[in-house]
Amino acid sequence: MKSINEYSVVLLVGLCQSAAAQGFSNLGFESTTLSGPPQVGVPIGTAMPGWGAFFSNASAGTTMVTRVWYDTLSLGGNAISVMDANIGYSLTPIQGSYSVLLFGGGNTVLYSAAISQTGLVPSSARTILVDVSSWTPDAIPPFFVTLGGQSIDMVPVEKFATYTRYGGDITPFAGQVAGLNIIEPPAVGVQPSLLELDNIMFSSEAIPEPSVFGLSALGAVLLAWRGSRCLYRFGPGPT
């Protein structure tokens, strides 16, 4: 597995400074108003309010994404896509009406795909939780989460029929303004990799040991702040 540094990910901690004091927003990706047939080149502010996005490669650098797609799947290239239940291909939103798809991949140059937001971490937060799935729910590809420029060790804490909940310890960042990045690197071999992402939450409960695959008590104390969506298709795409 390649490390996060091999993709020269730029931490976009300044993306949402104006909203940072109010905390993170649209963490469940429900703020989009997209509907109808698949769309190309949707402004990210419309598709994913509160979020920024970027593609990164160790040699080629980092490219900010200003436009994304809706209900469109990658054929191999790096991509970011906002999807709802109309996308088909046996994919459905993890929670609510929308989820985000991060495709790591490319043609001759392989890119990681990432979304980013800066906000105020709740003062009582000890854990960040993320619900993820993929083409095959039992085969989640490697992904990275960073907060405040630091990599967060994400471990599976609860498994559901169609997705897995991952959690990581963020205790040092409680009460601080910090940049959050969720990154999907390219697949090893056939491109692209696919990470379906939803339901990002902050919790006041400590992360359980990796061997404990369940968080039944955690749901009652979630400080759930939900989010926005993003889309993309074949190749590096419009930025």
Helices (H), the chain: 17-20, 44-47
pLDDT at residue number 90? 84
Residue 206 lies in a domain: yes
| First-residue to last-residue Cα distance in the chain | 28
pLDDT digits (tens, 9 = 90+) for 196-219: 999 999 999 998 665 444 444 343
pLDDT digits (tens, 9 = 90+) for 160-195: 999 999 999 999 999 999 999 999 999 988 999 999
What CATH code is carried by the domain that includes residue 135? 2.60.120.260
Residue 236 lies in a domain: no
Q: Is 85 or 224 the better-scoring residue by pLDDT?
A: 85
Residue numbers of the domain that contains 133: 4-224
Mean pLDDT of 105-119: 96
pLDDT at residue number 237? 42
Residues whose CB falls within 8 Å of the CB of residue 157, separated by 6 or more in sequence, listed in order: 129, 165, 166, 167, 207, 208, 212, 213, 214, 215, 218
Percent pLDDT > 70 in the chain is 78
Give the number of domains in the chain.
1
